Structure formats: C-alpha cells, structure tokens
A and B are shown apart, each in its own frame.
Chain A
Amino acid sequence: MTQVSINERVLDISSGSPKLLGVRCKSCDNHMFPTQKGCPKCAGTDIEPIELGTRGTLWAWTIQGFPPKAPPYLGEVDPAKFEPYGVGYIEIPGQAKIEARLTEADPTKLSAGMDMELVAQPLCTDDDGNEIVTFAFAPVATE
C-alpha cells in the first residue's frame, strides 16, 4: 500500500523517514510550525524554510477519549472501534514546542520531560487505496 502524507506542506515522508516542515525568522531566530510568512515575535518578514528536529521532550499532554467529529477528522469515528490517542506538545531543543499525536495513550506511561521521537502514523485510506499518514511522537525506548 502506498503511503501519502496528510499534507506535503507540513509533513514530508518522501525520504522514508518523516520530517516536519517549519520556518525560521532570520531576524530573531524564532521557529514556527507550520510555515507562515511573518514572525509573531518580532513582526519581521525575512523567513526561511527549515526541517524541524525529530527528537524532543514531552511538555504537556492529554488523552483524546472520544471520537472527534468528521469532518474534519480522518481517523476512526465509530465509537465501537475508536481507540483513545494521546496528544501533547513536544519541546524540540532550540526550536519550538510542536503539538502532535502521541503513540502512547496510557496516562500512567506519560510524564512531562520524557524523551520523544517523531514517527509517521497511518490514519486512514483514501479513495485511491493510498494510506494517509500523519505525524506523531513516540516515547524513546530507554534501553
């Protein structure tokens, strides 16, 4: 099955490993995700594209316990089949805190400050039979 990015302006999976596409303000070094044309920190407009780091630490988190509405949600919405998923902010050193799904949905296995890494996560299949993937962060194995 062919995998396609949920949105190529945000998530690049062409190399086989996921990359998040952001921008950086050349005037004040503020990092932004997704891309935008102006800087909310210094109001500058001299912006360059960057790939965001793929490792970071968990800053805040919750567990999505009920199916979101579709549209816009592309994942499973049938209450009988829906499985809760984690959502959190991952602090990428020197860049920004990125909001993402988490591969872990057990509250006893999540805590602020733990190491996380970027992974691609399948969401659904489109009309052409391609698998649509989004991005998520997974706990880094400690051993």
Chain B
Amino acid sequence: MSDVAIVGIGMHPFGRHEGVSGMEQGAHAVREACKDAGVEWQDVEFAFGGSSAAGAPDTMVAQLGLTGLQFINVQNGCATGGSALFAAANTIMSGAYDLGIAIGFDKHERGAFRIQAGNGGGRDWYGGSGMALTTQFFGMKINRYMQEYGITQNSLARVASKAFHNGALNEMAWRRQPFSEEEVLQSQMLSYPLTQYMFCSPGEGGVALILARADQAHKYTQKPIFLKSAVVRSRRFGSFEVLAPSLALEHRAGPTVDASKAAFEMAGIGPDDIDLAQLQDTESGAEIMHMAENGFCEHGEQESMLEKGETKIGGRFPVNTDGGCLANGEPVGASGLRQVYENVLQLRGDAGARQVPNDPKVAYTHVYGAPGISGVTILSR
C-alpha cells in the first residue's frame, strides 16, 4: 500500500467544550487539515466521516461548503476512525479519486458509556442487572492477565503516570496535569484492580486527515507520510470481548492479534522495525496487554519494560507519546485518527516538546473496542 500518502492533518483539541457541537469540532479539524495541505475544501474530491454520538457526519457539508463531493458516513464502534481511513485509502488505491479526507469527531455525555440493549422483548436484563459497562470487561481482563503473567499494580500506575506526563506536553490533550504513580494508586477504585486515574473518559474532539496519491504528494507537502497498512478486524470464535453475556469454553486470541499480523504482512515489515506506537489504552492495563497482543513483547515482559521506562518518550520503544486515551479522553469517532495524527507529527519531526528522539521513521497505531473490533495502521516517512 505504498501508493497513499497523508498530506494534511487537522485537529480540534480534545476535552470538554461547552457550547461547541461535536460536528463543529469536526469541521474545525477539516479546515485545519486543508490549511496544512495547502488545499481548499473545494479541492477535496471525496470524504469518509465517522461519529458515534454527534450526528451524521455528511451533514457537515452545510458548514464546510456544498461542493457536491462524495461523502460517506462510517460508524464502526471504536474502530470508526480507522474504518474511515481504511475506506479513504482504498478509494485512492482503486484509482477512483486522487485527493480525499478521513474525518472523525464525537461528543459524549460525562461518565462511563451508557449502553442500552434492544433485546427482543422484556426488560433490558443485561443493563438492568448492572453488567452493560465496558469498564468491567477491562477490569476482568487485566485482573486475569496480572495473575497469569505476573504484572503488578505498580505497572498499571506507571502507564497512567506516563500518559499524564506526555499529556502535559501536548497542547491538544484534555488532561494536562501530571500525576505521580502514588496519586494514581490512591485514586478511587472503579473496577478492581483499576482506579479512576487508570481509566480514560469518554470525551470530545475532532481529527481530519487529507490523503493523496503518493506520486502526487509533493504537490501538497514537503513531508508526506506514507500509509503502509490500514487494517480492521472483527472477533473470531472463542475470544474474550467486551459486553459479552457469555463466552465460549475454548479460548483464543482477540481481533488485535489478527489485525496486527495482517498489518505487518501488508507493510512487509515486523515489530522490530517500528520506532514508536500509539496503542489503545482505554485503561492502563489495556496498554500493557496490547503491547504483547500487537507483537512488541512477550506476555509478562511488560513488567520489566515499564520498570526500566522503555515506553517513555526517550525510551527504547515509546508508547502513546501524545498521552493516549488516558490523557486525551475517548471521543469514539475521533480516537483512532488522533493516533494517526500524532504519528504523522512524530514522523515529520514536528512533535515539539514530546518529539521522539533519533529521527523515527516507522510508526504504528492500534485501536480496540466494542463489540470486539480492532484497527491497526502503519505509517512511514
């Protein structure tokens, strides 16, 4: 997939923005991306837009300009942004168009996601019984993982503390106050063994990426970033997934493992070739488990990697350099594109105070979410 380049990026700060709709945040990101690529909205030939809770994305043409472009809405849970990017890249690869945009934005109510089931009759027994919470899945999965592979609560605190440290260096982040590992451990226990500061919160924000044919990329930017892979995978039988009233007796790896393998195959490289990664950190345990599920270490090895600070910005393998979901929150439609935005900045060398040293060349993103879906991208200079 060497023939698609990201030539412009735009973002609306993540966080809480009273009086600003999710779609306005998306439109802001689009204008910023156009400015970054040096194009006008009129030049954009097609769009894929995603949002889970902030309205139908294609209606944003009313604010951006009614140019008549092809605009397709994407809604795919936590992989919404990744799916929009996948579709946009393939539209260029197919030869249908030369210049397009992938957009993601969202705006969620405060607190944990409210999940109500349509279950074909009778009361909503799952939500009614207090089991329709994504937070419980993450608590159960990391609790089991810690027992199995010897991960300690200190590691959970290290991940969160790192995220807030990186967030403090990121002017687009929501949580910009650093917290010590001790403060993370002392915060309220939400879903054992995970405390409040180990969890990200649903939030708001918008991101847009302008894509072009690679052979035309230099028309728009001095520093094109090439999309080597964009993969989305759903779950297979036997995997342990969020919001599952029952699971099979047999146990197998989840969609992250499948998406990661496919992305590496598509790019023709392996985990050792990756210089930095943005990995889904719905809570700090997720980042730990996803390091191994994406092939960057063995299960259990994370304990020593975190102890040595290897995933910090100056470390051997920086993870979630922009503060991840923990510091940015999770506007579902925008979250996966935020990761790509950060990797573009890092590969351009434009990440400022949080720039990964030694001139990184290849970067990786990963999202995971309900109901058992994962999206991976690999970018290179």
Contact = CB atoms under 8 A, between A and B. Distances in A.
Interface of A: 6-11, 22, 30-34, 40-41, 59-66, 68-69, 71-75, 85, 87-89, 91, 94-101, 107, 112, 123, 132, 134-135
A95 B139 contact: no
B245 A85 contact: no
A31 B111 CA distance: 34
26 contacts: A7-B122, A8-B122, A9-B120, A22-B246, A32-B246, A33-B246, A41-B248, A62-B192, A63-B139, A64-B130, A65-B191, A66-B188, A69-B111, A71-B124, A72-B114, A73-B128, A74-B130, A88-B140, A96-B246, A97-B249, A99-B244, A99-B246, A112-B144, A112-B147, A123-B128, A134-B129
Contacts of A72: 114-117, 124, 126-128, 132
A74 to B, nearest CB: 4
Contacts of B131: 87, 99-101
Contacts of A64: 130, 133, 136, 191
Contacts of A88: 140
A11 B140 contact: no
A21 to B, nearest CB: 11
Interface of B: 111-112, 114-117, 119-133, 136, 139-141, 143-144, 147, 188-194, 237, 240, 244-249
A95 B140 CA distance: 20
Contacts of A9: 120-122
Nearest to B244: A99
B122 A61 contact: no
Main DSSP-derived SS at the B contact region? loop
Nearest to B137: A62
Contact of A98 (B116, B194, B246): B246
Contacts of A134: 125, 128-129
Contact of B248 (A62, A96, A107): A96
B245 A107 contact: no
Nearest to A39: B237
Nearest to B142: A62
A131 B150 CA distance: 43
B237 A41 contact: yes
B129 A6 contact: yes
- The 9 A-B pairs at the shortest CB distance, nearest first, are namely A72-B127, A62-B139, A7-B125, A33-B246, A63-B192, A7-B122, A97-B247, A60-B140, A74-B128
Given A6-B129, A60-B140, A96 B122 contact: no
Contacts of A91: 249
A98 B247 CA distance: 7
Contacts of A96: 246-249
Contacts of B130: 64, 68, 73-75, 85, 87, 101
B124 to A, nearest CB: 5
B236 to A, nearest CB: 9
A1 to B, nearest CB: 18
Contacts of A62: 136, 139-140, 143, 191-194
Nearest to B237: A41
A63 B122 CA distance: 27
